[in-house]
Structure 1
Amino acid sequence: MPHNKIYIFDTTLRDGEQVPGCKLNTKEKIELALSLEALGVDIIEAGFPISSPGDFESVNEISKIIKNATVCGLTRAVQKDIEVAAEALKYAKKPRIHTGIGASDIHIKYKFNTTREDIIDRAIRAVKLAKNFVDDVEFYAEDAGRADMRFLAQLIEKVITAGATVVNIPDTTGYCLPGQYGEIIAFLKNNVTNIDKAIISCHCHNDLGLATANSIAGVMNGARQIECTINGLGERAGNTSLEEVVMVLKQHKELGLYTNVDAKLLWPLSRQVSEVMRVPTQPNKAIVGANAFSHSSGIHQDGFLKEATTYEIIDPLEVGADLSKIVLTARSGRSALAFRLHKLGYQFNRDEIDVLYQIFLQVADSKKEVMDNDLHAMIPSELQVKEDKGAMAMHA
């Protein structure tokens, strides 16, 4: 495999669907799966086949239509789960079974009421069974972020020996700091003797707002797969945001890492997911939020209008967004006002802008945002002729 490629494992259709109210039907899942394949993701986790007949059908139907991406089904380390997943994936051109079990002492004691030795035994049996059905088996060590590192290393070594091709190191509760998560990945790289036989995967949750940072720390320390969702959707506070990790790697070329994602499709797909899953994206969401490329502060607007890179590190066209927006508020300055008036066809000199700016501030103090119709209305009649001449000049 290419040493510097980061495989993008999208779990919008599985972990993303665990957001309350986001249940998708098979038709909706198929539409999103096709869009994800067009985006360029490497693996699509299509669902948890044993969880319901609907999920089984979705994984089965997605397996039939996806041509390039790997199609993955989730299971527990349970024989019936694995057999059902294998059946659901039987039409996939590149099938993967994703099986696993808890790895932290908290999970071992309270969730499974068992021992570390039994966990290893169950893990080995699950991977070997899955390997009977597919060549590509991913193993997840749930709650690895809080697991004993030496036990985790032992567990990972055993499942790779059993046939796992990918080992998933989830920060299931979003507990880790980036340095801690990076240390876990580095520890596994240095202490699991057969680690070169598998890809290490990052699956980070956002409970403390660190999912993207932790995933980047993971790949900086040797992981080569990131599990993520469009818009960061997922259980509780969500998962690692696909658009964020893709653009971090694209911007920070010094890392020498890349993905196959077509960044120009990020905005359209973000809107599609938001609409289909009925979850509005917060305006200040990185990369795909409505305000991601909007400027309202006068200082920022002035700098941006002189040179866009003063306040934008990403060209909005790079991610398929509309052009940057100058939003007029009481914090806006003269340059932003002049810019917007010019866009509307007005041609005013500096002295006239100074006069209009005082009127603008009165309007802006009474409104959250000054719109185009407000600008037209605030211009004194003696200056209205400026628009006619400007408009004529623009259309000449």
Structure 2
Amino acid sequence: MKKVKISDVTLREDAGVGFLSFKEKVNLAKKLDRLGVDVIETAKITNAKTDILFLHTIAPLLEKSIISCPVELNEESVDRAYEALRGAKKFRLKLSAPVSSVQMEYLCGKKPDAMIELIKTLTEKCAALCCDVEFSALDATRSEPEFLYRAIKTAILAGAKTITVCDSAGEMLPSECGEFIEKLYENVPELKGVTLAAECGNNLDMGCACLVAGVSAGVGEIKTSADGKNQTSILCIARIFKSRGDFFGAYTGLNYTELEHTVSGMGFLKTQDFKNGKILEAEKGESFVLNDKDDINTVSLAVKKLGYDLSEEDIKNVYEEFVKVARKKQVTEKELEVIVASAALQTAPTYKLKSYTINSGNLINASCVMTLSKENEELQGITVGNGPIDAAFQCIEQIAGRKFELDDFQIQSVTEGKQALGVTVVKLRSSGKLYSGKGISTDIVESSINAYINALNKICFEEA
């Protein structure tokens, strides 16, 4: 039997709605890795500050999965994605290009010959930087067959190791999908030397059936999603392979035993609520809302659910701050995070920020020069990073002489307008415990630095 790789696109799909928080995305990536997902596809880099920081955060946490980052149709995007990923154990650069005449013309303004040349140039660029390159033919099922074959062959000869064909419309029948794959192999002999992947929309609720038909015809990698809304469900695919994989001679590396419980328990798949002042703790990860009727025990339970292990004194301090806010409005999970960061474990600072300078631009890597004071001694660090926040965080770690796991990173606007005041919350994990820090500034980089230093000072106090 042949192994079929599973490529999960949940993080990519979330980019369109931004429903998941930084922490939820990190936790999702870790869960997918433990479940045996072969490839985790992220969103393309649109925000250099947070997107690159997210990639840097998950890179050392993934043991088995390949991190796949989409690149846009320009060379600058390829360089940016490579720089963000090159520290990962296994990573892939993914180039997506429309191959139907309608999408080529209206989305890219390209004629067929120009698109072929662009595919060749960018695939070669990706292959020069990374040994694992994927070319994804968007709207492949509505493309002119001869042009599709030409585009795929061009990508393979330019260095692509995985070729994905997309039924973007999601209107294929299983028999049509199987026949479509067979014709690809007949007309593009070069496909036998690479992995052919398939991605099917689920408009007709037949995405899973189409993928199974594709596997029977020679597909070696399939795209799935944890939520199963617009894409084929990873749960549905897992059940099919577990029950009938032997029938069509294929298996996956998914951990079927844990998959059902883990995916069903992901907080963003469920309706979250509060009932009788108590948190519904059926599954980890669910969000919640508190109000002024909730007592200290309920708030303490919510704090523990966030991952904190606070002393009685810190819980009292958090509750006092919570009451002040709850008298005016309901308190969300993220707002409780800010309260914990500001009220719990307040200590005399070990490190203080004296100055920092950030150099950043679209043609250079971000760099940071920072000076911190510690016990009347000034310490300086100089680092280069992918984005100003990443460079700043690396600089703090260089000065402190140690690295921390970034568990969560939140930026929240407090006021509106061009000079809006923003609150940044940073959660660091050290020796299994969570420490949160808060920073406030009209400058996002400065508030992020202050939040990181605030969390670092709490770690230093606890471990002294």
TM tier relative to shorter chain: 0.5 to 0.7
On the 8 A contact 2:242/2:256 being kept in 1, the answer is: no
Q: Cα deviation per residue 1:262-319 (whole Å; 9 max; x = unaligned)?
A: 111122222333x146568xxxxxxxxxxxxxxxxxxxxxxxxxxxxxxxxxxxxxxx
| 2:91 pairs with 1:95 | yes
Structure 2: distance between partners of 1:23 and 1:64: 24
| 2:38 pairs with 1:42 | yes
User: What is the aligned counterpart of 2:177 among 155, 176, 181?
Assistant: 181
Structure 1: distance between partners of 2:73 and 2:98: 10
Residue 131 of structure 1 and its aligned partner are, at CA, apart by 1.1
Which stretches of structure 1, 4 residues or more, deviate above 6 A after TM superposition?
Answer: none
Task: Flag the structure with higher helix content.
Answer: 1
Structure 2: distance between partners of 1:250 and 1:227: 17
Structure 1: distance between partners of 2:270 and 2:58: 21
User: What is the aligned counterpart of 1:226 among 222, 227, 230?
Assistant: 222
The residue type paired with residue 229 of structure 1 is: S
The residue type paired with residue 67 of structure 2 is: V
User: What is the aligned counterpart of 2:74 among 78, 82, 90?
Assistant: 78
Partner of 1:247 in structure 2?
239
User: What is the aligned counterpart of 2:210 among 211, 214, 239?
Assistant: 214
TM-score in terms of structure 1 length: 0.65
Q: Which has the larger radius of gyration?
A: 1
On the 8 A contact 1:63/1:90 being kept in 2, the answer is: no
Q: Cα deviation per residue 1:20-66 (whole Å; 9 max; x = unaligned)?
A: 4x532332211111111110111111331235532222122111211
Structure 2: distance between partners of 1:271 and 1:70: 23
Task: Flag the structure with higher strand content.
Answer: 2
| 2:195 pairs with 1:199 | yes
**Matched residue SS, 2:203:** coil
Percent identity over paired residues: 27
Structure 1: distance between partners of 2:108 and 2:43: 23
Partner of 1:11 in structure 2?
9
Structure 1: distance between partners of 2:265 and 2:171: 30
Worse overlay, 68-77 or 163-172: 68-77
User: What is the aligned counterpart of 1:62 among 58, 61, 69?
Assistant: 58
Residue 77 of structure 1 and its aligned partner are, at CA, apart by 2.3
**Matched residue SS, 2:37:** coil
Q: Cα deviation per residue 1:77-108 (whole Å; 9 max; x = unaligned)?
A: 22122111111111111110111210011112
**Matched residue SS, 2:176:** helix
With CA pairs under 8 Å and 6+ residues apart, which has the higher RCO, 1 or 2?
Answer: 1
Partner of 2:402 in structure 1?
none
Partner of 1:139 in structure 2?
135
**Matched residue SS, 1:145:** helix
On the 8 A contact 2:227/2:269 being kept in 1, the answer is: no
Change in 2 beyond 3 A, CA 1:103/1:61: same
| 2:254 pairs with 1:258 | no
Which structure 2 residues correspond to residues 253-332 of structure 1 after superposition, within 5 A?
Answer: 253-273=246-266, 275-276=267-268
Structure 2: distance between partners of 1:110 and 1:256: 41
Query: Which residues of structure 1 form unaligned runs of 5+?
Result: 281-396
Worse overlay, 175-184 or 63-72: 175-184
Structure 1: distance between partners of 2:177 and 2:135: 18
Change in 2 beyond 3 A, CA 1:188/1:52: same
**Matched residue SS, 2:189:** coil
| 2:122 pairs with 1:126 | yes
| 2:105 pairs with 1:109 | yes
Structure 2: distance between partners of 1:242 and 1:213: 13
Structure 2: distance between partners of 1:180 and 1:115: 28
Change in 2 beyond 3 A, CA 1:46/1:111: closer
The residue type paired with residue 239 of structure 2 is: M
Partner of 1:291 in structure 2?
none
Structure 2: distance between partners of 1:279 and 1:168: 34
User: What is the aligned counterpart of 1:167 among 163, 186, 193?
Assistant: 163
Structure 2: distance between partners of 1:42 and 1:88: 20
Which structure 2 residues correspond to residues 371-382 of structure 1 after superposition, within 5 A?
Answer: none
The residue type paired with residue 25 of structure 2 is: K
TM-score in terms of structure 2 length: 0.56
Residue 119 of structure 1 and its aligned partner are, at CA, apart by 0.9
The residue type paired with residue 43 of structure 2 is: G
Q: Cα deviation per residue 1:301-356 (whole Å; 9 max; x = unaligned)?
A: xxxxxxxxxxxxxxxxxxxxxxxxxxxxxxxxxxxxxxxxxxxxxxxxxxxxxxxx
Structure 1: distance between partners of 2:47 and 2:205: 29
Residue 128 of structure 1 and its aligned partner are, at CA, apart by 0.7
Residue 173 of structure 1 and its aligned partner are, at CA, apart by 2.0
Which structure 2 residues correspond to residues 346-385 of structure 1 after superposition, within 5 A?
Answer: none
The residue type paired with residue 54 of structure 2 is: S
Partner of 1:308 in structure 2?
none
The residue type paired with residue 259 of structure 1 is: T
Residue 113 of structure 1 and its aligned partner are, at CA, apart by 2.5
Structure 2: distance between partners of 1:244 and 1:199: 22
Structure 1: distance between partners of 2:135 and 2:128: 15
User: What is the aligned counterpart of 1:25 among 21, 43, 67?
Assistant: 21
Change in 2 beyond 3 A, CA 1:221/1:106: same
Structure 2: distance between partners of 1:147 and 1:262: 36
On the 8 A contact 2:3/2:251 being kept in 1, the answer is: yes
Residue 127 of structure 1 and its aligned partner are, at CA, apart by 0.7
